[in-house]
A and B are shown apart, each in its own frame.
Chain A
Amino acid sequence: MTTAQIESSTTTTLPAAYDVQPRPHVGTRAAVEQTFSMAWRALMKMRRNPEQMVDVMVLPIVFTVMFTYVFGGAVSGSVGHYLPLIIPGILAQTVLTACVATGTQLREDMDKGVFDRFRSLPIARIAPLAGPMVADLVRYAIATTLTVLVGLVMGYRPGGGVLGVLGAVLLLIVTGWSMAWVFTWVGTVMKSAQSVQGISMMIMFPLTFLSNAFVPAGSMPGWLRAFVDVNPVSHVVTAARDLMNDGAVTGEVGWALLGCAAVIALFAPLSVRSYRRKL
């Protein structure tokens, strides 16, 4: 009797317009759906601003041609011999460059009014961050495909065959996606898109150039080689080379994937935390 009256009194106080009981948490399924809605939004944005795709369309071509002709003779004696070395390296570099844009674009986006609305909606806090990253898979796919195509046109004949190349491309996309969490975190921490760009470049350059991506580590002085050998980018590049040139799945693939998992495990929660704190 008493409880019935309590219930009736609570329902009468709720305005007629309100017919859903609030839920205390976002379920995993809802969070995934929200992430895909956000990914859809990011894809629409790409479609309407194709100029934002310039980096993943032009850079792979420019870099591949430029690096191959500049370093080819010096490093491997000829362009043809250099291609198996440089193509996996360029793939890694373009994918990592593409994921810097994830951070800067997120920062730009977060300053827009629509993010105020995202914050005021009852959605998983990870959805606005993870959505654009899912959409960015398109960018990685474009960047890697173009690099491989340019390599083929220049005479690269990967010994690993179609499967080897696909495996390497997949591995690099996974790497790019994981590394993007680092730049997403930078994006949530920094105050402006320029500072995100600056910091990201400071992370990116040593990682890609102080690796075996363009030059074999054997030719470097000892102290540098020490860094190059622990640099995760070197492991990814070696794994990709083994896949593309020999069709071999080596232990390096395992290390690369392990590194990716570690980066996601660390930076995804950090990003969500820092985004949440901005509320």
Chain B
Amino acid sequence: MTTQITHPSHPPAERLAVEATGLVKQFGAARAVDGIDLQVRPGEIYGVLGPNGAGKTTMLKMLATLLPIDAGTARILGHDVQGSPHIIRQLIGVTGQYASVDENLTAAENLRLFGRLQGLSLRDARARAARLLEQFALTDAADRQIAQFSGGMRRRLDLAASLITSPPVIFLDEPTTGLDPRTRGQMWETIRGLVADGCTVLLTTQYLDEADQLADRIAVIDHGRMVAEGTPDQLKAKVGGSSLQLGVRDAGQVEEAARIAGRLIGDTAVRTPDRASFTVPLADADRAGEVLIALREVGIAVESLSVQKPTLDEVFLALTGEDTHQNSPDSSRTTGQEVA
């Protein structure tokens, strides 16, 4: 009896916002999504990071009832995506990769239409549209047709249109692609605001720094498979931090300079294709100064110097490289089942 009473009071995290198991989408001979497992907890920002064609959009569309699921299951807030699409559509707000607002209508008309379609009265739809336009700094453009909107304005309107009924789960497909840095920062703020209001956000991105800035957890996907998952820090630890790239004036001295830098930083310096320069992994930016001083002492003139954060390319190289010689995704899934 006592156990029965305590049983239902799970911690809230037990009920996942988004849960997918073995999700598969086949397009002809190609598998766009090839067995993805996903667990998004309520109230988090979950980032799906991947290059062009990785299967991000396809995965999101399956979760959003926009594409049939070929194999596997997906649940949103406990509701089955395939079994009850109509319920899922009431729980989610979707902002697709490409604008999904009506070109023939003004911004305000668009929001009113979507509000009316979702059961708001004419008055409520007007009020909601006005509030969202204000929130997204579009009030001045409210009565302009979308055809005259800039990319950033369209993107903001698109997001606003997904928020009309305050859905608890929000899918954003590359919300900042094509935005200038300032607009991008504003979009990040908006997304953080959504989570502060209690939403769960699942977003895709091609940018490592975006995932890093925004997401509580990140899944890296490539060729329809998840190659890594974790907090930004966990992923960065896997990839290694920044790297120091250094060019010397006299190409003949590059060997010696690389040796000195490698010794000081405690890692191997790698020559770059450009003959007079090399890179060293740099965990601690302070060390860059020491390298410079040491080079001056031995009389090597420095031509260029930069500290670079890992690029998406490097992340994939590091992650997929590790993945292939340690364990294939299939074997890792089997181990997961054994543990559970």
Chain B residues within 8 Å of chain A by Cβ, number: 52
Contact B14 A13 (CB under 8 A): yes
Separation of A117 and B103 alpha carbons in the complex (Å): 13
Chain A residues closer than 8 Å to B166, beta-carbon distance? 17-19
CB < 8 Å: which of B8, B92, B105 contacts A120?
Answer: B92
Contact A127 B67 (CB under 8 A): no
Q: Is B99 an interface residue (CB 8 A)?
A: yes
Chain B, residues 20-54, CB within 8 Å of chain A (1/0): the string is 00000000000000000000001100000000000
Q: Which chain B residue has the least Cβ–Cβ distance from A41?
A: B113
Contact B9 A25 (CB under 8 A): no
Contact B5 A18 (CB under 8 A): no
Chain A residues closer than 8 Å to B14, beta-carbon distance? 13
* CB proximity to B under 8 Å, residues A116-159: 116-123, 127
Chain B, residues 85-113, CB within 8 Å of chain A (1/0): the string is 11101111010101111111100010001
Identify whether the interface residues of A are mostly helix, strand, loop, or mixed: helix
Contact A22 B94 (CB under 8 A): no
Separation of A121 and B65 alpha carbons in the complex (Å): 10
Chain B residues closer than 8 Å to A23, beta-carbon distance? 86-87, 90
Q: Is A33 an interface residue (CB 8 A)?
A: yes
Contact B102 A17 (CB under 8 A): no
Q: Which of the 9-residue segments A4-12, A207-215, A224-232 touches chain B?
A: A4-12
Chain B residues closer than 8 Å to A13, beta-carbon distance? 12, 14-15, 42, 77
Separation of A14 and B197 alpha carbons in the complex (Å): 12
Whether A113 touches B101, Cβ cut-off 8 Å, given contacts A16-B198, A25-B86, A44-B109, is yes
Separation of A13 and B77 alpha carbons in the complex (Å): 9
Chain A residues closer than 8 Å to B168, beta-carbon distance? 14-15, 17-18
Separation of A12 and B77 alpha carbons in the complex (Å): 12
Contact A9 B9 (CB under 8 A): yes
Chain A residues closer than 8 Å to B64, beta-carbon distance? 120
Contact A45 B9 (CB under 8 A): no
Q: Is A258 an interface residue (CB 8 A)?
A: no
Contact B117 A34 (CB under 8 A): yes
Whether A15 touches B198, Cβ cut-off 8 Å, given contacts A37-B113, A116-B96, is yes
CB < 8 Å: which of A14, A49, A121 contacts B118?
Answer: A121
Contact B42 A24 (CB under 8 A): no
CB < 8 Å: which of B87, B99, B113, B200 contacts A15?
Answer: B200
Chain A, residues 43-54, CB within 8 Å of chain B (1/0): the string is 011001100000
Chain B residues closer than 8 Å to A14, beta-carbon distance? 42, 77, 168
B92 to chain A, nearest CB (A): 7
B23 to chain A, nearest CB (A): 16
Chain A, residues 81-111, CB within 8 Å of chain B (1/0): the string is 0000000000000000000000000000000
A31 to chain B, nearest CB (A): 11
Contact A24 B86 (CB under 8 A): yes
* CB proximity to A under 8 Å, residues B119-144: 119
Q: Which chain B residue has the least Cβ–Cβ distance from A125?
A: B86
A118 to chain B, nearest CB (A): 8
Separation of A30 and B116 alpha carbons in the complex (Å): 10
Chain B residues closer than 8 Å to A41, beta-carbon distance? 102, 104-105, 113
Q: Which chain A residue has the least Cβ–Cβ distance from B92?
A: A120
Contact B89 A121 (CB under 8 A): yes
Q: Which chain A residue has the least Cβ–Cβ distance from B105?
A: A44
Contact A15 B66 (CB under 8 A): no
Contact A117 B68 (CB under 8 A): no
B129 to chain A, nearest CB (A): 13
Q: Which chain B residue has the least Cβ–Cβ distance from A123?
A: B117
Chain B, residues 199-220, CB within 8 Å of chain A (1/0): the string is 1100000000000000000000
Q: Which chain A residue has the least Cβ–Cβ distance from B200?
A: A15
Whether A12 touches B197, Cβ cut-off 8 Å, given contacts A22-B90, A23-B90, A24-B86, is no
Chain B residues closer than 8 Å to A25, beta-carbon distance? 86
Q: Is A70 an interface residue (CB 8 A)?
A: no
Q: Is A199 an interface residue (CB 8 A)?
A: no
> By CB atoms of chain B within 10 A, which of A24, A40, A41, A114 has the most?
A114
Chain A, residues 257-279, CB within 8 Å of chain B (1/0): the string is 00000000000000000000001
Chain B residues closer than 8 Å to A28, beta-carbon distance? none
Contact B66 A22 (CB under 8 A): no
Contact B113 A40 (CB under 8 A): yes
Q: Is B262 an interface residue (CB 8 A)?
A: no
Contact A121 B103 (CB under 8 A): no
Chain B residues closer than 8 Å to A114, beta-carbon distance? 100-103
Separation of A113 and B94 alpha carbons in the complex (Å): 12
Contact A33 B116 (CB under 8 A): yes
Q: Which chain A residue has the least Cβ–Cβ distance from B110?
A: A114
**In the complex, the 3 A-B pairs of residues with the closest C-beta atoms, listed nearest first:** A16-B198, A15-B198, A18-B168
The interface of chain A, by Cβ under 8 A from chain B, is 1-2, 5-6, 8-10, 12-20, 22-26, 30, 33-34, 37-38, 40-41, 44-45, 48-49, 112-123, 127, 279
Extra pairs beyond A8-B9, A44-B104 (7, CB < 8 Å): A17-B198, A23-B86, A113-B100, A114-B102, A116-B100, A121-B117, A122-B86
A-B contact pairs, 9 of them (CB 8 A): A13-B42, A14-B42, A18-B167, A44-B104, A45-B102, A113-B96, A113-B100, A122-B86, A122-B89
